[in-house]
């Protein structure tokens, strides 16, 4: 997604994704059927030169063919198209009931253009453009994007083209801006768009001001007998006013483009979950709010004054502890469900019934995982490997000791120093299972420990020994081979397998939607986290309504990366996600991912 996609409501700009319309992807014919069609077309094809912003999908729509038609003649196109690349377009005889839209043409969006201004320029309605380019229902307009401009139906009178303001002043309503009104709020009130308001009121480019009078365009001409009953205005086809309203509040635009890219990827993953739920019948309006900063709250607090924020059914976002605190208080006051998607040291669930905390604080995670570990390795010989000067897992070790003590077990400790090999050999028990627990998550400790374990296995091949480590070990690919050899277990709130079918499907869809872009190499994957957040909460809203919290135990979704199992923390508090994985790197080279917390 281009950084220009995301705009701030506070600044008078907006990004609204109306999800009440269905999206239809181009359905490609099978290869065998396609070859038959080309044969019937006498093997003819034309050459198309790829323009800026064009994709296989937009080109296929331009020529009224399927994407598979293009891929069949241009196999390399499946990996993406390049600017000025020449590709073959098959000449296929259309079915009897389908006429080729020979007058359709491609249009590349210029800087600062809007759907409304483009529609006015080419003599169409906004709905005409959206229907011809269904991707606009999920992805906002951006510079360089290629649009299909459909031909005007022969039956459409030419006088339907928008007329200049001077010739159509009777088709406008005068509106005086009241205190705290926003451009988007006014557009919503009149079922129009902020772009339309700005096009007909150029003064708005300098900002909306209290007391100014602006013209509100009437997008549909009214005859003398076309007044609406009870003074109601027609509902926009781009927004369902009765739909569920979800707000995504993140620092999309800040000083660090690298960091912004993570949040944009999160949102892109959320959109894929949204599209999946739309197919099932979900009706939702999604609003995007830019906080500007990863830590500050000044802009966030001003956003909370807007009517759009106050009218939401669910808020997703916040990054810093201060931002989460502000959003939590706002959600509690307004009675809005609030989902915290990223790890945080705060525990808002203790004091707010509206909060759903997706990533548990370390204290909660450690208590859950050490309880499972004690049960999983009951009666084992537990040995800590400590690292001098690194005490980063002190809380984990304390929690595990408490769990072992309850079972009458006791662990021993061996320091990772020059005597590690000899001291560890003395601590091992040949008659029991030995579980080696790293007391630090560092790569340096692993680098020291793994050769020692390998040597001990060579000397004692029948020794029953497993290694237990931490979440961050997933980010040390240089040690993966040794993890398998040492029958390693790790606990983690995030895990995504590249071999999983749903993962492959998600990555394929992500590349298809976002111009063959790959997920950023981060842990966790922000796109997958956005998908998991979206698929869970949208499923809850869809199946159980706005008060879905009473049914959290029955909400089950096929998450990509994040196991989700919410439980209410106390009578006066909210909901904490207790889900986590135990990932087992087995000596046969396979991986088991076992979900706990349900």
In which residue are the tokens 């229902």 written?
137
Q: pLDDT by residue (tens digit) across 535-544?
A: 999 999 999 9
pTM attached to this predicted model: 0.63
Q: Where are the domains of the chain?
A: 23-151, 164-218, 364-492
For helices 362-376 and 394-406, the axis angle rounded to 10 degrees is 40
pLDDT tens track for 354-377:
999 999 999 999 999 999 999 999
- Binned at pLDDT 50, 70 and 90, residue 161 comes out as very low
pLDDT for the residue numbered 150: 80
Averaged pLDDT, 417-431: 95
Question: What is the residue whose two structure tokens read 């993962």?
Answer: 503
Tokens 């009224």, residue?
A: 64
Nearest to 299 by CA among 309, 307, 291: 291
User: What is the tens place of the pLDDT at every residue in 183-200?
Assistant: 877 877 776 767 667 766
Return the structure tokens found at 594.
Answer: 């076992």
The answer to whether residue 438 scores a pLDDT higher than 50 is yes
For the segment 233-246, the average pLDDT, to the nearest whole number, is: 53
pLDDT of residue 17: 32
Q: Report, as an integer, the average pLDDT of 244-267.
A: 83
Bridge partner residues of 465 (DSSP): 434
Q: Which helix (H) or strand (E) holds 584?
A: strand 580-585
Rounded CA gap, 118 and 573, in Å?
Answer: 50
Spatial distance between the Cα atoms of 385 and 497, rounded to a whole number of angstroms: 28
Tokens of 536: 């869970």
Q: Phi then psi for 226, rounded to 5 degrees?
A: -105, 20
214: part of which helix (H) or strand (E)?
A: strand 213-217
Topology, domain 23-151: Membrane-bound Lytic Murein Transglycosylase D; Chain A (3.10.350)
Domain covering 364-492: architecture: 3-Layer(aba) Sandwich (3.40)
Tens-digit pLDDT profile for residues 133-157: 776 765 667 777 878 888 765 444 3
* φ/ψ of residue 46, rounded to 5: -120, 165
More confident residue, 293 or 534: 534
Task: Give the Cβ contact number of residue 420 at 10 Å.
Answer: 17
Band (pLDDT 50/70/90 cuts) for residue 255 is low
Cβ contact 365:429 at 8 Å = no
Q: Residue 104: which residues within 8 A CB-CB, separation 6 or more? A: 61, 62, 64, 132, 148, 149, 150, 151
Of 47-56, 59-68, 289-298, 527-536, which gets the smallest average pLDDT?
59-68
How far apart are alpha carbons 74 and 85 in whole angstroms? 11
Q: Which of 23-37, 283-297, 468-482, 584-598 has the lowest mean pLDDT?
A: 23-37
What is the rounded CA–CA span in Å between residue 322 and residue 326? 6
Taking the C-alpha atoms of residue 416 and residue 438, their distance in angstroms, rounded to an integer, is 10
Contacts of 332 (CB under 8 A, 6+ apart): 352, 353, 354
pLDDT tens-digit profile of 313-323? 999 999 999 99
Distance (Å) of CA 16 to CA 6, 7, 19, 532: 10, 10, 9, 21
The yes-or-no answer to whether 23-151 and 164-218 have a common fold is yes
> Residue 121 pLDDT > 80, yes or no?
no
Architecture of domain 164-218 in CATH? Roll (3.10)
In the predicted structure, residue 565 carries a pLDDT above the cut 70: yes
pLDDT tens-digit series, residues 470-496: 999 999 999 999 999 999 999 999 999
Strand partners, 90: 45
């Amino acid at each position: 997604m281009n950084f220009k996609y995301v705009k701030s409501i506070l600044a008078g700009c907006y990004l609204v994704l109306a999800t009440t319309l269905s999206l239809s992807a181009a359905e490609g014919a099978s290869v065998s059927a396609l070859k038959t069609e080309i044969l019937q077309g006498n093997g003819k094809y034309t050459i198309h030169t790829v323009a800026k912003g064009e994709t296989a999908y937009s080109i296929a729509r331009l020529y009224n063919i399927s994407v598979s038609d293009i891929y069949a003649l241009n196999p390399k196109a499946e990996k993406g198209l390049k600017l000025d690349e020449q590709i073959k377009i098959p000449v296929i005889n259309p079915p009897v009931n389908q006429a080729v839209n020979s007058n359709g043409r491609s249009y590349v969006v210029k800087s600062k253009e809007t759907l409304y201004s483009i529609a006015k320029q080419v003599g169409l309605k906004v709905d005409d453009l959206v229907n011809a380019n269904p991707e606009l229902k999920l992805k906002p307009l951006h510079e360089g994007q290629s649009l299909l401009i459909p031909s005007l139906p022969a039956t459409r009178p030419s006088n339907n083209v928008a007329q200049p303001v001077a010739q159509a002043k009777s088709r406008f309503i005068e509106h005086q801006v009241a205190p705290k009104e926003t451009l988007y709020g006014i557009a919503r009130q009149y079922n129009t768009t902020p772009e339309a308001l700005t096009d007909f009121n150029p003064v708005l480019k300098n900002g909306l001001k209290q007391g100014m009078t602006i013209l509100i365009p009437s997008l549909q001409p009214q005859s003398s007998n076309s007044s609406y009953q009870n003074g109601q205005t027609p509902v926009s086809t781009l927004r369902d006013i009765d739909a569920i309203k979800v707000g995504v509040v993140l620092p999309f635009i800040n000083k660090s483009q690298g960091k912004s890219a993570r949040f944009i990827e999160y949102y892109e993953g959320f959109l894929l979950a949204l599209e999946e739920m739309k197919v099932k019948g979900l009706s939702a309006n999604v609003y995007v709010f830019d906080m500007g900063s990863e830590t500050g709250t000044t802009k966030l607090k001003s956003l909370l004054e807007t009517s759009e924020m106050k009218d939401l059914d669910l808020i997703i976002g916040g990054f810093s502890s201060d931002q989460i605190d502000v959003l939590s208080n706002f959600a509690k006051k307004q009675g809005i469900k609030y989902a915290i998607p990223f790890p945080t040291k705060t525990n808002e669930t203790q004091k707010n019934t509206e909060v759903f905390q997706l990533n548990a604080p370390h204290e909660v995670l450690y208590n859950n995982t050490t309880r499972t570990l004690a049960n999983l390795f009951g009666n084992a010989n537990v040995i800590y490997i400590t690292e001098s000067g690194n005490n980063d897992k002190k809380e984990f070790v304390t929690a595990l000791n408490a769990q072992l003590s309850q079972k009458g077990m006791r662990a021993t400790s061996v320091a990772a120093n020059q005597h590690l090999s000899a001291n560890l050999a003395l601590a091992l028990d040949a008659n029991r299972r030995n579980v080696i627990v790293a007391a630090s998550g560092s790569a340096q400790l692993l680098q020291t420990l793994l050769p020692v374990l390998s040597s001990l296995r060579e000397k004692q091949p029948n020794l029953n020994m497993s290694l237990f480590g931490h979440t961050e070990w997933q980010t040390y690919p240089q040690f993966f081979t040794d993890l398998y050899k040492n029958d390693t277990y790790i606990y983690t709130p995030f895990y995504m397998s590249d071999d999983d079918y749903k993962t492959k499907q998600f990555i394929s869809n992500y590349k298809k939607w976002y111009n063959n872009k790959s997920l950023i190499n981060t842990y966790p994957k922000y796109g997958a986290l956005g998908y998991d957040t979206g698929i869970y909460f949208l499923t809850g809203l869809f199946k159980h309504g706005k008060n879905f919290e009473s049914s959290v135990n029955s909400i089950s979704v096929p998450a990509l990366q994040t196991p989700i199992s919410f439980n209410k923390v106390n009578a006066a508090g909210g909901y904490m996600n207790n889900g986590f994985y135990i990932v087992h790197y087995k000596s046969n080279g396979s991986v088991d991912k076992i979900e706990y917390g349900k």
